[in-house]
Structure 1
Amino acid sequence: MEYDWVGFGYAALVASGGIIGYARAGSVPSLAAGLLFGGLAGLGAYQQSSEPKNVWLSLVASGTLSAVMGMRYYNSRKAMPGLIAGASLLMVGRLVLKMMEKPLEP
């Protein structure tokens, strides 16, 4: 089984973003959302590690985060929402490309 290290790194980034939001501003919603979406992204990376075409959970998590954090960045111009939105958008692109790959035929 080949591990999806990029997916696990993305999950860690999202979870750490929630922790940083809580540490800096005392924002419990940031902590809860960061840990929830980080956990979903980590579970999606695990699923993708066992079955490379199983990208749906990761795609939903990163797509939702790219939209929500993109709007937060647009309204506030703060660094952390922009970082998470950019990373989420890159993950969406990576997952769409993975979905379009043809399976290897013997």
Structure 2
Amino acid sequence: MAADWLGYGYAALVALGGAIGYINTGSMMSLIAGLVFGVLAAIGSRQISQNPRNVWLSLGTYGTLAVVMGVRFLNSWKVMPAGIMTGTSLFMFVRAALIYLWQQKKST
């Protein structure tokens, strides 16, 4: 499989979002969370690029962000950033699950 460019883009979006949250509100927690989850997403994308069956780190990262940002969205009803990150994380979660399932079907 080729490099997971969509996954790397998602990782950059998460890290950039954390940095923007820090710049706009001064929230150190946004910066730390954005960088940690961005790095985890990048590592997960590298793992998927090397072995498409190795999706577990990506699924955990995408799923965690989907839940956390989904709760924030339901509490605030603000589309930016919580709604966008919820939708993007759900999309990436489903994508990683489909990559795994497709690889399982392909190997049988």
TM range, smaller chain:
over 0.9
Q: Residue 4 of structure 1 aligns with which residue? A: 4
With the length of structure 2 as denominator, give the TM-score of the two structures.
0.92
- Match for 2:11: what amino acid? A
> How far apart, in 2, do the equivalents of 1:99 and 1:51 lie?
10
With the length of structure 1 as denominator, give the TM-score of the two structures.
0.94
Say which is worse superposed, 18-27 or 1-10, in terms of deviation.
1-10
Q: Residue 65 of structure 2 aligns with which residue? A: 65
Q: Residue 54 of structure 1 aligns with which residue? A: 54
Contiguous gaps of at least 5 residues in structure 1: none
**Superposed CA RMSD:** 1.2
Contiguous gaps of at least 5 residues in structure 2: none
Q: Residue 80 of structure 1 aligns with which residue? A: 81
> How far apart, in 1, do the equivalents of 2:75 and 2:25 lie?
17
> How far apart, in 2, do the equivalents of 1:51 and 1:26 lie?
38
Q: Deviations over 1:56-106 (max 9, x none)?
A: 00000000000000001111122111111110000011011111112257x
Sequence identity percentage: 52
- Match for 2:31: what amino acid? L
- Match for 1:48: what amino acid? I
- Match for 1:43: what amino acid? I
Q: Which of 84, 98, 106 is 1:103 aligned to? A: 106
> How far apart, in 2, do the equivalents of 1:64 and 1:90 lie?
13
Q: Secondary structure at the match of 2:2?
A: coil
> How far apart, in 2, do the equivalents of 1:30 and 1:43 lie?
20
Q: 4+ residue runs of structure 1 moved beyond 4 angstroms? A: none
Q: Secondary structure at the match of 2:106?
A: coil
> How far apart, in 2, do the equivalents of 1:21 and 1:83 lie?
14
Q: Secondary structure at the match of 2:54?
A: coil
> How far apart, in 2, do the equivalents of 1:74 and 1:16 lie?
23
> How far apart, in 1, do the equivalents of 2:84 and 2:4 lie?
21
